Structure 1
Amino acid sequence: MLLSPGMDAALAGVLGLLVGSFLNVVIYRLPKMLERQWAADCAELVGKSPEPAEPFNLMHPRSRCRQCGHLIRWYENIPVLSYLALRGKCSECGTRIGARYPLVEIATAGLFTFCGWKWGVSWTGLAWCGFAAALVALAMIDWDTTLLPDDITLPLVWAGLIASALRWTGVPLQQAVWGAAAGYVSLWLVYQGFKLLTGKEGMGYGDFKLFAALGAWFGWQALVPIILMASVIGAIIGIAMKFSDNLREGGAIPFGPFLAGAGLTALLFGPSSILEVIGL
């Protein structure tokens, strides 16, 4: 720790607000960037030139109101405070701004605050902050689009292995490697078994990679409590959504948000506590 635990936590919390604001950009834009890339790849395969389009990435164009196109000024983009000052509306056309934007910022700030309090301003604390930010982004993207982008899941796997090798996570490298391997293979086998029995795909490859990442960060011993919690909570929410007629078209419920939620629970309370939470 560079300062007192309270100051470290406060600094991490401020950083979390800023990162949370950026995550809102990632959550919205990354799937659209992937769709554009897929469209360009498909056009190239059939011998067509991709249609010209303005640059669209995480930095360009500037953030704007989706309704009227109003460019967001810097003082309208201060995490949480701008949302409160604008009363959750566009300053130009008055269109409502989703409450999810400040909630993502607050959630990220809370997770960063925890990491700063527990590990201080250190490489270990920074590593776990990055882990938390990745899970927040993956959970929201998967919930919106049923996609778990390789751009996040694969770096998260490697980051877990590297952090283990550098002794930042407290997980021996051998356990991290076996955790990554077991995480991927276990869900792959479930996928293949379900497909063999039903002829349908019960989950996507992104779920395998996310579970592998959790294994890399927590070790193979944590895989059972994490998958149990994700399955139990996912089943409860799925049944509730079915009875309330809130299921999306086709009745698909992404599994990634529940895996990410279980991973964040393991971060906050430890993998073994998950068994106590679900009553096992």
Structure 2
Amino acid sequence: MAFLDQNPAIGYPLVAGFGLLVGSFLNVVILRLPKRLEWEWKRDARDVLEQPEVYDPPPPGIVVERSHCPHCKHQLSWYENIPVFSWLALSGKCRNCKAPISIQYPLVELLTMLLFVAAVWRFGFGWQGFGAIVFSGFLISMSGIDLRTQLLPDSLTLPLMWLGLIAAADNLYMPVKPALLGAVAGYVSLWSVWWLFKQLTGKEGMGHGDFKLLAAIGAWTGLKGVLPTILISSVVGAVIGSIWLALKGRDRSVPIPFGPYLAIAGWIVFFWGQPMIDAYLRFAGLAP
């Protein structure tokens, strides 16, 4: 780690390449995890309801099965699976059937690369930088899944929360107490908004996964980071949501996923929350 800190010309390209590779894996998580969870839910429901067995083969796993074209099922060779470059070389089309390949693939890979490089730029090449990389990777995968399916899986939100608390146990970013309070405050704050909205309208204004995601973010940002995360996510959500509705002409009753806005806000607060809070206190004349 010290070698990379002393030789950033080597460290940053290595992290960038690592980010592209992880971004390729996150694409697999975004696409396959919801299908796998849905298959497991259906299987469990049949068991609970004591329904007869049906032939329902499991969807591809996340780690073992090779990537393939979703249209013609053509298995991708290694040179067709190089992050970003393969998509550009193939002009965004399958080599076998010429069907279009979603631009999601290179975008997720590039975003992962940029956030990973930002992580080591902000926190260095040590354990803090590695933790920021892990935090960023989880947020990218959950945002992608929520955008596609309006689902925030417990298999991602809860491990992220526990990893934040484990990091606090080692005092990596903060002591355990503010991290634990941040997790509790994150969950309770959004749950309270959900409960009040349901009492007033009879409708559920957000999914329970949003509570758990903010709890996970609170475990990484601490108690001080929860309110800024809520405020920033609300502003970002209002702006992007309004633009989305204007461009797509969607019915206002159609739910819009809130997870990506929480993820954007949580990432900003985790990286620059304390400087933002200090600047605000100085601006308000509350700083000593």
TM range (shorter): over 0.9
Q: Residues 39 and 59 of structure 2 are in contact (CA less than 8 Å); yes or no, is this contact kept in structure 1? A: no
**Aligned-pair distance for 1:50?**
4.8
Point out where structure 1 has 5 or more consecutive residues left out of the alignment.
Answer: none
Aligned to 1:255: 258
Contact 2:30/2:141 (<8 A) preserved: yes
Structure 1 vs Structure 2: percent identity of aligned residues? 46
Which residue does the alignment assign to 2:136? 132
- Written as runs of structure 1 = structure 2, the 5 A alignment for 1:112-127 is 112-127=116-131
Once residues 234 and 274 of structure 1 are traced to their aligned partners in structure 2, the CA distance between those partners, rounded to angstroms, is 21
The one-character-per-residue Cα deviations of 1:226-251 (angstroms, maximum 9, x if unpaired) are 11010111112222222334437941
TM-superposed CA distance for 1:116, in Å, is 2.2
Kindly indicate whether the alpha-carbon contact (under 8 Å) linking 1:225 and 1:275 is maintained by their aligned counterparts in 2. no
The amino acid across from 2:161 in the alignment is: V
Alpha-carbon distance between aligned partners in 2 of 1:84 and 1:56, rounded to the nearest angstrom: 26
Q: Are residues 167 and 252 of structure 1, via their aligned partners in 2, closer, same or farther at CA, if it must alter by over 3 Å?
A: same
Give the drift of 1:45: 1.5
Asked if structure 2 preserves the Cα contact closer than 8 Å seen for 1:230 and 1:261, the reply is yes
How is 1:59-138 mapped onto 2 (pairs within 5 angstroms)?
59-138=63-142
One-letter amino acid of the structure 1 residue matched with residue 94 of structure 2: C
User: Partner residue of 2:187?
Assistant: 184
Aligned residue pair count: 278
Correspondences of 1:124-273 after superposition (within 5 Å)? 124-168=128-172, 170-247=173-250, 250-270=253-273, 272-273=275-276
CA distance in 2, matches of 1:164, 1:263: 17
Rounded Cα–Cα distance in structure 1 between residues aligned with 2:33 and 2:229: 26
1: CA distance, partners of 2:231 / 2:185 = 15
Q: Structure 1, residues 112-157: CA drift from partner, whole Å, max 9, x if none?
A: 1122233333222111101000000111110111100000000000
Superposed displacement of residue 161, structure 1: 0.6
State the secondary structure of the residue aligned to 1:244.
helix
Q: Deviations over 1:57-109 (max 9, x none)?
A: 10243211111111111111011111111111111111111111111001101
Give the TM-score normalised by structure 1: 0.93
Matches within 5 A, 1:2-13: 2-3=3-4, 4-13=7-16
Provide the alpha-carbon RMSD of the alignment.
2.1
Closer/same/farther in 2, CA of residues 50 and 263 from structure 1, 3 Å limit: farther
- The corresponding residue for 2:18 is 15
1:33 aligns with one of 26, 31, 36: 36
- Residues 185 and 223 of structure 2 are in contact (CA less than 8 Å); yes or no, is this contact kept in structure 1? yes
1:8 maps to amino acid = G
Contact 1:226–1:274 (8 Å) recurs in 2: no
Structure 2 counterpart of 1:43, one-letter code: R
Q: TM-score, normalised by structure 2?
A: 0.90
Give the superposition deviation at 1:38.
0.8
Distance 1:249 1:151 in 2: 30
Q: Cα 1:118–1:23, aligned 2, differ >3 Å: closer, same or farther?
A: same
Query: Is contact 1:8-1:117 (8 Å) kept?
Result: no
Q: Which runs of 5+ in 2 are unaligned?
A: none
Q: Quick one: distance in 2 between partners of 1:145 and 1:275? A: 37
Higher relative contact order (CA closer than 8 Å, sequence separation 6+): 1
Deviates further, 110-119 or 127-136: 110-119
Q: 1:56 aligns with which of 36, 53, 60?
A: 60
CA separation of 1:31 and 1:248: change in aligned 2, threshold 3 A: farther
Q: 1:276 to 1:145 in 2, by over 3 A?
A: farther
The code of the aligned residue for 1:114 comes to A
> For residues 148 and 78 of structure 2, what CA distance do their matches in structure 1 show?
27
